[in-house]
């Protein structure tokens, strides 16, 4: 079946990259007024061309963000498992979503892009599979998960891009501004937390309390440790002056840190 058939602790993280964690961050939205409304097919094509130029591939979420129907902050909540499915936060009627996705597939095929199935998992230690559609239909899900890649890339580059895009988004631990928070699982607290659908959770409850903090500052050491740590999480803190989350360092396995030093 095709698609056509069918507390105050946190603010949305601001990232940019090439994998599912950074969906749509580098893709400008297509905006318009009532007097110069552009046909949906043209808007889809414009969003696709921008995404392709920025990252050499296009995803369904690139299109939905690019045409202004999906907020990047809502994507972040979906990736953290706080939204049951992506369609719940798309700001348009379901029939229009299906129309846009059909137009996207038609444009991608006509442009000669290469289909690349991509895995999407949430930003939690459990790495659960993310759901796109309300129905959960396998055909619709597969359509959403398909990235369309530039044919100008070599086969090896396409393989590397597919591998990178299929990686789960980085785990994120937050240094809260308000230290009077309570873990929704055990009732405890701490200097770091991870967000889950019911609320903040402490590192012990999410199984990351054995990791060691590596402060930001030494880029070479950070790369070495990150490459050798099977588990890691990015530590961020919200900056009131810059109005965004900023990296403070990494949580890494003690063995990887010791070996790198």
Measured from the Cβ of residue 159, the count of other Cβ atoms closer than 10 Å reads: 12
Q: 3-state DSSP call for residue 252? A: strand
C-alpha dihedral, 165 to 171 to 175 to 178, nearest 10°? 100
49: its two tokens: 């061309």
Q: Where do we find the tokens 């903040």?
A: 200
In the chain, which stretches have pLDDT less than 70? 1-36
Token duo for residue 134: 């309300």
pLDDT of residue 14: 37
Round to whole Å and give the CA distance between 104 and 108: 6
Question: In this predicted structure, what is the pLDDT of residue 221?
Answer: 96
Q: Which pair of structure tokens corresponds to residue 251?
A: 């949580």
- Show the tokens assigned to 45: 């094509």
Element (H, E) at 52: helix 40-55
Asked whether the whole model's pTM tops 0.95, one would answer no
Which residues, 6 or more positions from 28, have their beta carbon under 8 angstroms from its beta carbon?
Answer: 50, 66
pLDDT value of position 25 = 47
User: Interior CA angle at 244 toward 251 and 60, to 5°?
Assistant: 85
Q: Reduced to 3 states, what is the DSSP secondary structure of residue 175?
A: strand
Cα angle: 20, vertex 90, 23; to 5 degrees: 15
The C-alpha atoms of residue 58 and residue 104 are separated, in whole angstroms, by 9
Q: What are phi and psi of 182, to 5 degrees?
A: -130, 135
pLDDT digits (tens, 9 = 90+) for 120-173: 998 888 888 999 999 999 999 999 999 999 999 999 999 988 888 877 788 999
């Amino acid at each position: 079946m095709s698609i056509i058939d069918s507390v105050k602790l946190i603010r949305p993280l601001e990232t940019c990259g090439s994998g599912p964690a950074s969906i749509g961050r580098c893709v400008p939205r297509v905006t318009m007024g009532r007097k110069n409304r552009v046909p949906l097919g043209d808007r889809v094509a414009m969003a696709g061309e921008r995404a392709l130029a920025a990252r050499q591939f296009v995803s369904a979420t690139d299109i939905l963000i690019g045409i202004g129907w999906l907020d990047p902050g809502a994507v972040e909540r979906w990736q953290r498992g706080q939204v049951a499915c992506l369609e719940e936060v798309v700001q348009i009627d379901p029939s229009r979503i299906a129309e846009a996705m059909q137009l996207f597939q038609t444009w991608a095929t006509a442009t000669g892009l290469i289909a690349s199935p991509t895995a999407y998992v949430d930003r939690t230690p459990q790495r659960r599979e993310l759901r796109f559609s309300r129905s959960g239909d396998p055909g619709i899900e597969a359509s959403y998960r398909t990235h369309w890649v530039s044919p100008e890339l070599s086969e090896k580059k396409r393989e590397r891009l597919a591998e990178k895009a299929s990686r789960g988004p980085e785990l994120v631990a937050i240094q809260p501004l308000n230290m009077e928070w309570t873990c929704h699982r055990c009732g405890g607290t701490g200097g770091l937390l991870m967000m889950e659908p019911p609320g903040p959770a402490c590192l012990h409850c999410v199984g990351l309390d054995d990791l060691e903090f590596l402060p930001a500052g030494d880029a070479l050491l950070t790369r070495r440790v990150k490459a050798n740590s099977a588990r890691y999480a990015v530590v961020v803190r919200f900056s009131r002056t810059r109005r965004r989350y900023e990296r403070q360092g990494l949580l890494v396995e003690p063995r990887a840190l010791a070996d790198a030093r």
